[in-house]
Structure 1
Amino acid sequence: MKRLSLLLCAGLTLGACSKEEPAPEPVRPVLSFEVRAESEESLGRFAGSIQARYETNLGFRVPGRIANRNVDVGAEVGKGALLATLDPTDQQNQLRSAQGDLARVEAQWINAQANARRQQQLFDRGVGAQAQLDIAQTDLKTTRASLEQARAAVNQARDQLAYSELRTDHGGVVTAWMAEAGQVVSAGQQVVTLARPDIKEAVIDLPASLVDQLPADVVFKVALQLDPSVNTTAVVREIEPQAQSATRTRRSRLTLTQTPPTFRLGTAISVTLSSAIVPRTEVPLSALQEVDGQARVWIVDPQARTVAPREVTVLSRDHDSALISSGIKIGERVVSAGVNSLKPGQKVKIDEDSPR
């Protein structure tokens, strides 16, 4: 009997030991963000580039065939730098011809001077005729005019020879070439574009419909596409009055408030347009949960590391966010992903630095 009692007690003890403790509720990791007030309304983001405010289109002042192109696109040149040269054969021949004419007229000038002196001396001694003296003086004046004309022709020929070299009027950066070595160009034809790098501006193309509705307090934020942390603000300097027929956009030139060193000519930028609005709260659509037609979000208790649902009033929605008019406060943390698998009071693991 005693043995039976011992067996029963042992069986009860084993049965009690075999009961499992209930598993603790798992801690669910969630993404969250801190609620902030939005005081600006984004009007869009547009791609553009950094360009020089002042650009000069240069060309030769005489026609000819380009013999040499001395610099490439992107080269920085100083004032008076040689950009390209024409074949100078024609200009050199014109100069030699003008110099030959000058030498002939100079000889005539010397002879006319000598003849005028002789006729004057003969007339002074009373053995020369007045008519011969008048002819000699007239010939002297005519020869002098021919001499001045010949000298001007030589100077013009020298200028024409100098025009076969294309030089800069100011320092700058070569941004484009429209002709190559061996190409025949006419006088005044655009050959190269030279930009002054000292004053830069942002250039973007804005939709014509947006330009007509820009608010007076619009803010242009200009940032590098490769490094958005490098940014500055800008104001409109010029907007083309007519839209391009193909794209229905109007080119806009913006004056930069500051010009960071990395804003080089041709650098790709992004320009964000915004305007001031009444402060409001914006949350991603992934943070909203619909329950019986009522929108709600999950608020994180940072001390207890738990979540609780809260109903909110939605003003408007777009493809990825919603505007909230009431229900949450500035500074609270809201779950931004995984809301459909949460329960009130559930323990969560949050990332304090989670993006919105």
Structure 2
Amino acid sequence: MTSTPLPRRLAAALALPLLLAACSKPTEPAPVVPAVYVTPVQYTAAGAERRFSATLAARTESDLAFRTGGKLVARLVDVGQAVRAGQPLARLDAADYQLGAEAAAEQLRAAEVDAAQSASDAARFARLLADGSVGAADQERLQAKADAAAARVQQAHRQLELARNRNAYTVLTAPFDGVVSAARAEVGQVVAEGQPVFQLARDRELEVVVDVPEALAADLRERRATVRVAGGAAQALRLRELSPTAAAGTRSFRARYALVSAAPALWRMGMTAEVALAAPRAGSEPVAELPVGALLSTQGQATVWVVDDPAATPAKLTRRSVTVVAQGNDSVTLRGLEEGAWVVSAGAHRLDAGMAVRPVKRPLDGPLPRPQAQAEPQPQAAASAAALQVAR
């Protein structure tokens, strides 16, 4: 019995993989399924407590300016510095105003000399009139001149006071105790009369500033408000001021709340706070709150994309109409969806109906529904796997 030579067997072994590769079909790349953020629909009472980000601000914040113009030669305080009432903040070049005050003083002295001479002449003519040496007309004329000279003395006094006041206006002082919150001029700059140079805030009188949506503005005075800063205890608030018009960009109303009790010592202007607005009444129809990126406008109708089966990979999308109750900067309140439905909450305007997507939950939302258990392998597939194992 003759055996196959080794070179022929080696060539057959090398040719077998090539033949198998030629018979198999090329593998196509898997289609890319875009990932989308989804958020579950959770209904709460429409009158439930609402929370908003707010800012601590000074109740009184004034723009300070010189009462005269000139060149700024000294800025004595910086932003954030605490000042006392009457403390100098900045100075202008006062050389011209000092010259004006000196000139007014000289004019006053000249007016006083002229008034003294006129009064002496009037007194002398009054004595001469008594013995008939001069006429009454001459005496009256000198008396009028003396009265005019006395009036010019008073005028010179006023001019001197004005000149000294304008010289004093070259020093800007703090009208009350507070903190410098802004500086709008530097040394060497020529400032006009009334041009703001500093902004001074009363840091001991803090209040809370918050922007509320249109849906809450109507009954805002009826809602109980509290504020919390940096995880501290809640403080009661009292609505002090509500803007009568909405902001053009956000359509929100700015509200300013005063603290019912004294502010904690650690609170500072500019700190971020959280304002809670409790409902004035209960029993309203429930609403759901979603990120504003979930809302679409289709032919004038508000719609959202709902994921049919979040557990499926990929999942399909369906467009659903909703009723918008209120819309803010970051969120939208609506009705018209089922409790627990998963809605695409970011990039909704880039999707199409029936599009395959891969749902991804937001970090603070609950987990997605678990996928169903994997189905058992079909008999044909099992037989094929067994046949392959036998062939090996």
TM-score class, shorter-chain normalisation, is 0.5 to 0.7
Q: How far did residue 209 of structure 1 move?
A: 4.0
For 1:235 and 1:223, locate their aligned partners in 2 and report how far apart those are by CA, in whole Å. Answer: 14
Q: Does 1:233 align with 2:251?
A: no
For 1:49 and 1:76, locate their aligned partners in 2 and report how far apart those are by CA, in whole Å. Answer: 21
Aligned partner of 1:262 in structure 2 is 266
Compute the RMSD of aligned alpha carbons. Answer: 3.1
After superposition, the C-alpha distances for 1:37-79 in whole angstroms (9 at most, x for unaligned) are x9x9342x33222112122222111122222221122222222
Q: How far did residue 127 of structure 1 move?
A: 2.7
Q: Does 1:98 align with 2:101?
A: no
Distance 1:173 1:318, change over 3 A: farther
Aligned partner of 1:188 in structure 2 is 194
For 1:215 and 1:102, locate their aligned partners in 2 and report how far apart those are by CA, in whole Å. Answer: 63
One-letter amino acid of the counterpart of residue 241, structure 1? P
Distance 1:48 1:180, change over 3 A: farther
Q: Select 1:221's aligned residue among 220, 226, 233.
A: 226
Normalized per residue, the structure richer in strand is 1
Aligned partner of 2:217 in structure 1 is 211
Q: How far did residue 118 of structure 1 move?
A: 2.1
Distance 1:237 1:318, change over 3 A: farther
Q: Select 1:133's aligned residue among 109, 115, 139.
A: 139
8 Å Cα contact 1:230-1:260 kept in structure 2 = no
After superposition, the C-alpha distances for 1:234-288 in whole angstroms (9 at most, x for unaligned) are 232222121221232221101222322222222222223343757xxxxxxxxxx
Q: Residue 191 of structure 1 aligns to a residue in which SS? A: strand
Distance 1:125 1:168, change over 3 A: same
After superposition, the C-alpha distances for 1:112-158 in whole angstroms (9 at most, x for unaligned) are 12222222233334433333322221110110111111111001111
Q: Does 1:68 align with 2:74?
A: yes
For 2:112 and 2:212, locate their aligned partners in 1 and report how far apart those are by CA, in whole Å. Answer: 67
Relative contact order (C-alpha < 8 Å, sep 6+): which is higher?
A: 1
Query: Which range moves more in the overlay, 70-79 or 123-132?
Result: 123-132
After superposition, the C-alpha distances for 1:293-331 in whole angstroms (9 at most, x for unaligned) are xxxxxxxxxxxxxxxxxxxxxx934779xxxxxxxxxxx
8 Å Cα contact 2:221-2:239 kept in structure 1 = no
For 1:199 and 1:176, locate their aligned partners in 2 and report how far apart those are by CA, in whole Å. Answer: 17
Q: Show structure 1 runs of 5+ residues with no match.
A: 1-37, 279-314, 321-335, 341-356
Moved over 3 A (4+): 214-217, 315-320, 336-340
Q: Select 1:245's aligned residue among 234, 243, 248.
A: 248
Residues 1-356 of structure 1 aligned to structure 2 (within 5 Å): 41-43=48-50, 45-212=51-218, 214=219, 217-224=222-229, 227-258=230-261, 259-275=263-279, 277=282, 316-317=339-340
One-letter amino acid of the counterpart of residue 218, structure 1? R
Distance 1:318 1:96, change over 3 A: farther
One-letter amino acid of the counterpart of residue 87, structure 1? D
Q: How far did residue 97 of structure 1 move?
A: 1.7
One-letter amino acid of the counterpart of residue 159, structure 1? N
Q: TM-score, normalised by structure 2?
A: 0.57
One-letter amino acid of the counterpart of residue 63, structure 1? G
Q: How far did residue 210 of structure 1 move?
A: 4.0
One-letter amino acid of the counterpart of residue 176, structure 2? H
For 1:147 and 1:260, locate their aligned partners in 2 and report how far apart those are by CA, in whole Å. Answer: 59
Q: How far did residue 339 of structure 1 move?
A: 11
Instruction: Indicate the percent of aligned positions where both proteins have the same amino acid.
Output: 30
For 2:151 and 2:68, locate their aligned partners in 1 and report how far apart those are by CA, in whole Å. Answer: 27
Q: TM-score, normalised by structure 1?
A: 0.62
Q: Residue 180 of structure 2 aligns to a residue in which SS? A: strand
For 1:317 and 1:54, locate their aligned partners in 2 and report how far apart those are by CA, in whole Å. Answer: 47
Aligned partner of 1:304 in structure 2 is none
For 2:136 and 2:221, locate their aligned partners in 1 and report how far apart those are by CA, in whole Å. Answer: 88
Query: Which range moves more in the overlay, 77-86 or 123-132?
Result: 123-132
For 1:52 and 1:89, locate their aligned partners in 2 and report how far apart those are by CA, in whole Å. Answer: 37
After superposition, the C-alpha distances for 1:13-57 in whole angstroms (9 at most, x for unaligned) are xxxxxxxxxxxxxxxxxxxxxxxxx9x9342x3322211212222
One-letter amino acid of the counterpart of residue 165, structure 2? D
One-letter amino acid of the counterpart of residue 272, structure 1? A
Q: Residue 252 of structure 1 aligns to a residue in which SS? A: strand
One-letter amino acid of the counterpart of residue 85, structure 2? K
Give the number of aligned pairs.
250
8 Å Cα contact 1:62-1:163 kept in structure 2 = yes
One-letter amino acid of the counterpart of residue 232, structure 1? Q
